[in-house]
Structure 1
Amino acid sequence: MTAPSPGVRARRVVTTRTGGVSAPPYDSFNLGDHVGDDPAAVAANRQRLAAVVGLPPERFVWMEQIHSRNVTVVEGPVTEPVPATDALVTTVTGLALATLSADCVSVLLSDEEAGVVAAVHAGRIGARIGIVPRVLDAMIELGARADRIGAFLGPAASGRRYEVPAAMRDDVEAHLPGSATRTVEGTAGLDLRAGLRRQLLDHGVAAVAEDPRCTIEDPTLFSHRRDAPTGRLASVIWLEEDPQ
């Protein structure tokens, strides 16, 4: 009798600002290489992340994030950050897709049955112009089904603290319904995670989980709004073989 082929399962990691070697104001586990930190410190922090995850550093794929709706399908390791993109999609096991944030929403998506995962950087601009629906389309082209996709929304600026001009709030709400809110100060605000959750569910995604932490409120997380200049968190997703 032939043994069944092993399946795959998705694994996820979200970092905090502690446990690294970067000096202030990037203290200490900064993983962004574009914020002015010492490149040697960033490299050391990325080595530490790889060791914790249990994958070689060369199996991590990073992005040159530009607040776009560009999506890139990755078919193997790359030596440099993927240029000018805000989403990575792969079917390759053991390839860790990373998205960086410090108030923006990181979105991690997976269809384990199809063996497809994605990492998305969804800031105000990218969320407004539809980065997430484009990623879902790319995953479906690779065999995923919306009703099997699970989504995870990482720590981000909350609607309680993300103050914006009223005109900006109304504009984003028109493109990402459900994102308009009022802050604790009673001013116009945005809750991008609420808008993205609604968008994902409207597109038939099976389930949406959320890390409720607010980057602006939580001192263990990097926040550009609170502390600029500052470091970046990483949200990482990868596929590993699951013999069961």
Structure 2
Amino acid sequence: MPHDVALSPVQSSLFGERVGPAIAHGYFTRKGGVSEGLYHGLNVGLGSHDDRDRVNENRTRVAAWFGAPLERLATVHQVHSPDAIVVDETYDGARPEADALVTATPGIVLGVLSADCGPILFADAEAKVIGAAHAGWKGALGGVLESTIEKMVQLGARRERIVACLGPSISGRSYEVGAEFVARFVAADASYNAYFAPSERSGHAMFDLPSFTVRRLTEAGVAAENLDICTYADEERFFSYRRTTHRQEPDYGRQISAICIRGT
């Protein structure tokens, strides 16, 4: 099976300062995978129409980057929900419908997939509790970030110690939405209007999902960072659902963001 260059995940400087070596993390790019065509690179999307053997090889490489077997890479069937689940040593590879995972168990790699939506990784280094969440506009507005934090607290984390980082996602420069979309947010909280800027098209606006996500994180009481990398604009490194849609392509790949407590 052909292969690309080595994996080259992006990492958080905030994690580097506040988390330490006991917890490993990475926002993986397309580089280092075996998929071809539309999915060229490290496509880990089981829901894509890519060759399943290639997808599993890509997922195996991600797990191996953390020193773990594929069976220890925990992901969920993402449905844009506010739901977070706890994963422990009994993890059996199932992918329940949810959009976030948390654990206090060393050696389990928590992963969330994305292709414009926001991947957020969380860690409380002192409690050794971690989390990973997938948050598009619906999840961010619906409370998936807060659900993730609450599950972490239940495992012994403390909000004031939790560090969260938003990885590569679509930026406000590339995310055009309609008037009904804006109305939905403003109806929830009038101050959310600040995350919409005028578009060149009448009746449309540009939505700053990353800034909205960081606001929800900080209001939930955690330290937050945005890597400020746009998946739509950076085709060489990232898959993008919206870019695929604009090009009328039949399918798209998914990248993964993952975190793991190193084994003791």
Report whether the alignment pairs 1:168 with 2:181.
yes
Structure 1 residue 185 displacement after superposition? 3.8
Out of 162, 182, 188, which is 2:205 matched to? 188
Write the distance in 1 (CA, Å) between the matches of 2:67 and 2:253.
Answer: 23
Map 1:49-60 to 2 at 5 A: 49-60=62-73
Does the 8 Å CA contact 1:35/1:230 hold for their aligned counterparts?
A: yes
Report whether the alignment pairs 1:115 with 2:128.
yes
Out of 158, 173, 197, which is 2:171 matched to? 158
TM-score (norm 1): 0.89
> Secondary structure, in 3 states, of the residue corresponding to 2:76?
coil
Say which structure, 1 or 2, has more relative contact order (CA 8 Å, 6+ apart).
Answer: 1
Structure 1 residue 141 displacement after superposition? 1.3
Matched to 2:104, the amino acid is T
Report whether the alignment pairs 1:90 with 2:103.
yes
Structure 1 residue 32 displacement after superposition? 0.6
Write the distance in 1 (CA, Å) between the matches of 2:225 and 2:255.
Answer: 18
Which sits farther off after the overlay, 35-44 or 10-19?
10-19
Does the 8 Å CA contact 1:179/1:190 hold for their aligned counterparts?
A: no
Structure 1 residue 95 displacement after superposition? 0.7
Unaligned runs of 5+ in 1: 1-6
Structure 1 residue 17 displacement after superposition? 1.3
Q: Which residue of 2 aligns with 1:24?
A: 37
CA-to-partner distance for each residue in 1:166-185, whole Å, 9 max, x for gaps?
A: 22023235447377222674
Write the distance in 2 (CA, Å) between the matches of 1:179 and 1:123.
Answer: 18
State the superposition RMSD in angstroms.
Answer: 2.0
Write the distance in 2 (CA, Å) between the matches of 1:95 and 1:188.
Answer: 40
CA-to-partner distance for each residue in 1:197-229, whole Å, 9 max, x for gaps?
A: 111111211x21222110110012100100251
TM-score (norm 2): 0.83
Does the 8 Å CA contact 1:159/1:183 hold for their aligned counterparts?
A: no
Matched to 2:256, the amino acid is A
Change in 2 beyond 3 A, CA 1:238/1:77: farther
Write the distance in 1 (CA, Å) between the matches of 2:48 and 2:194.
Answer: 28
Does the 8 Å CA contact 1:178/1:198 hold for their aligned counterparts?
A: no
Q: In percent, how many aligned pairs have the same letter?
A: 39
Does the 8 Å CA contact 2:71/2:93 hold for their aligned counterparts?
A: no
Q: Which residue of 2 aligns with 1:199?
A: 216
Write the distance in 2 (CA, Å) between the matches of 1:70 and 1:162.
Answer: 25
Write the distance in 1 (CA, Å) between the matches of 2:48 and 2:186.
Answer: 29
